[in-house]
Amino acid sequence: MFNGSPHKGNTWQLVKLIQENLEGISPESAFEEIQLTDLQLPFCTGCSICFRKGHEYCPHNKIMEKIIDKIDESDGMIFAMTTFYMQPNALTKNLIDHLSYMVHRPHFFKNKAIVVTTVGGVGGNSAANYLVGFLKGIGFNYCYKLSVASYSWNNYMPDDKTKIKCKMLAERFHKDVSSKKTHTPSLGVLIPYNLFRGMSLGYVKGTEYETEDGVYWINQSRSKSTYDPLVTVPFYKKIFGNLFYVIGKTASKFITVKYKK
């Protein structure tokens, strides 16, 4: 569990409730809780080296690798964040910024997550949808969402209705994660995936502005497939994905994202 909220406040209370339910269903389950504040991740500098040369060259890679490894190792992730003016709080957004290159080169195909947020009254859904959309963009196979209006400054007490919601969510999540089955990607996921698959052809080794995208997508199993081979894609979605691949490939002949050498 990543707590992207700047403190152990209302959102953390809600996550603890989900955790208790998960432990009730599966007493042998082990939780690791990481407070993003403790990681002292500096702000993304905007150097764009992750996009161009690879995330290993990020000036904050030591911290980021730990985060990526933790997600890779997990069976299921809980992302907690606070909603500040209808969007994820800055600490969470900073993590998103550091992982943004993965929208070009998605990675977490086997992972499933729950996104949890609390908000005073209004805007929690748009914040949660933002993070869910991002996680899907970087490969997450499935994301559950819980957004709750706390009507509280740091003194939140979940009501009975919320307690039932947490119980049901924990049951669904546990069942899904332990099944180890993957969900087929939505059309909304296939569009950017296949656009990048096509556009990456403009950045392969030997082109004027080669990037790490050109390396990632050239892999045989990836370049020929509408989605990661770990995930089954029905025939009609393959046609849909390939259509966007062709659009991306065509666009790569007319548009090149340049950089200073």
Ligand X SMILES: Cc1cc2nc3c(=O)[nH]c(=O)nc-3n(C[C@H](O)[C@H](O)[C@H](O)COP(=O)(O)O)c2cc1C
194-195-196 Cα angle (round to 5): 90
Give 83 or 211: the residue with its C-beta nearer to ligand X: 83
Q: Tell me: does residue 86 bind ligand X (CB under 6 A).
A: yes
Q: Do the beta carbons of residue 112 and residue 141 sit within 8 Å?
A: yes
Give 61 or 126: the residue with its C-beta nearer to ligand X: 126
Residues within window 2-21 making contact with ligand X, judged by CB under 6 A: 5, 9-12
Q: Which of 56, 130, 53, 60 is nearest to 89 (CA)?
A: 130
Q: How far is the CB of 169 from ligand X (least distance, A)?
A: 17
DSSP reduced 3-state for 83: strand
Q: Tell me: does residue 118 bind ligand X (CB under 6 A).
A: yes
Q: How far is the CB of 23 from ligand X (least distance, A)?
A: 21
Say how far apart CA 124 and CA 57 lie, in whole Å. Answer: 34
Q: Tell me: does residue 84 bind ligand X (CB under 6 A).
A: yes
Among 82, 147, 226, 252, interactor with ligand X by CB under 6 A: 82
Q: Tell me: does residue 246 bind ligand X (CB under 6 A).
A: no
Q: How far is the CB of 162 from ligand X (least distance, A)?
A: 12
Q: How far is the CB of 2 from ligand X (least distance, A)?
A: 13
Contacts of 161-166 with C-beta under 8 Å, sequence gap 24+, read 162/14, 162/17, 163/17, 166/14, 166/17, 166/18, 166/21
Q: Check residue 153 and give left, alpha or beta (phi > 0: left; psi -120 to 50: alpha).
A: beta
**Amino acid occupying residue 165:** K
Give 42 or 121: the residue with its C-beta nearer to ligand X: 121
Residues within window 125-184 making contact with ligand X, judged by CB under 6 A: 150, 152-154, 156
DSSP secondary structure string for all residues of 174-206: HHHHHHTPPPPPPHHHHHHHHHHHHHGGGGSTT
134-167-121 Cα angle (round to 5): 60
Q: Tell me: does residue 76 bind ligand X (CB under 6 A).
A: no
Q: Tell me: does residue 235 bind ligand X (CB under 6 A).
A: no
Q: Tell me: does residue 123 bind ligand X (CB under 6 A).
A: yes
Give 88 or 137: the residue with its C-beta nearer to ligand X: 88
Among 24, 42, 59, 121, interactor with ligand X by CB under 6 A: 121
Per the listing, tokens 């990661």 go with 228
Give the binding range for ligand X (CB under 6 A) out of 112-120, 161-169, 181-189, 218-226. 112-120
Counting residues that bind ligand X (by CB under 6 A) gives 21
Q: How far is the CB of 147 from ligand X (least distance, A)?
A: 10
Rg (CA), the chain: 19
Q: Tell me: does residue 192 bind ligand X (CB under 6 A).
A: no
Give 35 or 48: the residue with its C-beta nearer to ligand X: 35
Q: Do the beta carbons of residue 144 and residue 22 sit within 8 Å?
A: no
